[in-house]
Chains A and B, each alone.
Chain A
């Protein structure tokens, strides 16, 4: 996974609340078999008119947001479906940071598996960022180590993040590799697990004989 330490970039403002992951990557693209190439598909139905012509009314299509890498948005961002495609789209589009008052739980979690930093700020702070982001070329610097979001006009907000999540992102840790270091404990757990899990060996249940093809 890409580590995340610091990032500075142009802010794109998407002033919508409760944006769901169905909007971020619509269902038809959840049939693809890869993790790559979702940037072009991000916010597909909002972003494009027929024939993939950019919709001039969609905020992210404004020329001033070209090359933006910090997404500023509203509460409960990326709620709904668990599809990790939503994060893959955010990352592949070029965003490294998403700032909002709150996030959908599954999306928030998925961000950390992909080197995207979700920053939760207070409503009033997000309001202030929306005001400032009206200026063309507005940039923010995000420092994960110091847990700060700052601009060059003297604004500086601190944000909260769980220390374990922070470390994992700073180092770009391989979570599966780390968990596998506990393989002995996993095996020990499996040996002593409560009877309920072993009472009926699922592998021993034969449904196939009754299953027609």
Chain B
């Protein structure tokens, strides 16, 4: 057999049925569902008289629309309440395990999967959410699916899949202080473009990726979809195994060793061929800030808002002009001169414990700028929240003037009350700066947690490298 990539190994291990010229029927090891994209799937399933094939491999959580404060009070948003009721009913009727908004394990679906050890190397994982790519950090083939596919997985525990092309993203060099995993992935997207990974599964490799913690790798894989790739992955290694050992759903004792032996076999074989290879130097990177309305519209913090006329392609030129109009920015404005209204630290990209620790190190003993209307910290899960509180991070944030909230997707998507008002500008650790993403008319700049924390203190972007803080991931 020719040398195989990580993707090809996982693919081959999950083929249930294949025929020449046809897509394959692929087995799905873990199916994660949430209130946003599952109700229609259950309705369809019921209408067709079909059952959930493997409720034991299906995990449900409430995250997208949950309130991040006063969760003990009744839900006033009727549409959200109906979503929660539908998910609870569907799980009850089919025997699917549900982490509802009062569970101590509740959190953003892509935070709790790894945290509970539901996510493991070599698995296939799907979820009706495009940031399912996050789980690829464990050497897992994980990708977002539509609601019709959610229904398909519920009914069959399989998906009909076409094989993707492979793109190796090799990142070498030591990250300078203040340059985080978020900056690495924003730089990758800036380099290959928001459609640069379309049709491909990305595999991240190289010394820079190896040196990242699991949290950092998750941040990188999370944003694969922002480069157009449904999935991104990192081969599992000792960092992965150390993270997983002892987590609730991970095998224990002798079984853990058996699992590790298998997981070690997943790395790409020497000489494995990729359809494309992209290389990046991390030691040349600086903290990144987006200026436009997609994550590819990004530059480093020492830069300025570009002039749309500097784009050679007329379609890009028009898109840049539209983006600047929406963002209320003028060409040539230095990024550090852009004043902010709000700061959001959270989302499946950057709300893990390491993110909060790093942001807290920046904030400790300082105050949020008076010009800021709101600075929000939303832990990715209740487990992260509890850990942060144990370490006193909540006190660090609230003493500085941040609000400390309960876990959920929150202002990344604004499906609950955490909405960015029209015309306001937000430094956000989330993943999408699309028009209206955080709220209709809201203006989003994507940054790392330490960049967001520093921006909250100053009221505008700053080059965090000058602050001499440990960025961790």
Measured CB to CB, the residues of A under 8 A from B are 15-18, 20, 22-23, 26-28, 30-35, 45, 74-76, 79-84, 87, 102, 104-106, 109-110, 113-114, 162-164, 175-176, 179-180, 182-183, 185-186, 189-190, 193-197, 199-203, 205, 207, 210-213
Complex partner residue of B319 from A18, A30, A87, A114, CB under 8 angstroms = A18
CB contacts (< 8 Å) of B37 on chain A: these are 30, 82-84
CB distance from A152 to the nearest CB of B (A): 28
Stretch in B102-110, B178-186, B350-358 with 4+ CB within 8 Å of A: B102-110
Contact in complex: B130, A211 (CB < 8 Å) = no
Q: Is B328 close to A, CB under 8 A?
A: no
Contact in complex: A76, B123 (CB < 8 Å) = no
CB contacts (< 8 Å) of A28 on chain B: these are 79, 415
Complex partner residue of B36 from A30, A45, A163, A186, CB under 8 angstroms = A30
Count of A-B residue pairs with CB < 8 Å: 206
CB distance from B13 to the nearest CB of A (A): 6
| Given A194-B262, A202-B57: A79 touches B16 (CB 8 Å cut-off) | no
Contact in complex: A82, B262 (CB < 8 Å) = no
CB contacts (< 8 Å) of A212 on chain B: these are 102, 104
User: Which size class do B's interface residues fall under?
Assistant: 35 or more
In the complex, which residue of chain B has the Cβ closest to the Cβ of A193? B27
Complex partner residue of B194 from A76, A183, A197, CB under 8 angstroms = A76
CB contacts (< 8 Å) of A22 on chain B: these are 432, 434-437
In the complex, which residue of chain A has the Cβ closest to the Cβ of B27? A189
Contact in complex: B432, A79 (CB < 8 Å) = no
Determine the distance from Cα of A119 to Cα of B364 in the docked complex, in whole angstroms. 54
CB distance from B423 to the nearest CB of A (A): 14
Contact in complex: B436, A197 (CB < 8 Å) = no
Complex partner residue of B162 from A113, A162, A193, A211, CB under 8 angstroms = A162
| Given A33-B83, A186-B27: A211 touches B104 (CB 8 Å cut-off) | yes
Contact in complex: B250, A200 (CB < 8 Å) = yes
Determine the distance from Cα of A201 to Cα of B251 in the docked complex, in whole angstroms. 9
Determine the distance from Cα of A87 to Cα of B251 in the docked complex, in whole angstroms. 40
Contact in complex: A200, B36 (CB < 8 Å) = no
CB distance from A133 to the nearest CB of B (A): 16
Determine the distance from Cα of A104 to Cα of B432 in the docked complex, in whole angstroms. 15
In the complex, which residue of chain A has the Cβ closest to the Cβ of B116? A207
Q: Is B327 close to A, CB under 8 A?
A: no
CB distance from A91 to the nearest CB of B (A): 12
| Given A74-B315, A162-B162: A197 touches B123 (CB 8 Å cut-off) | yes
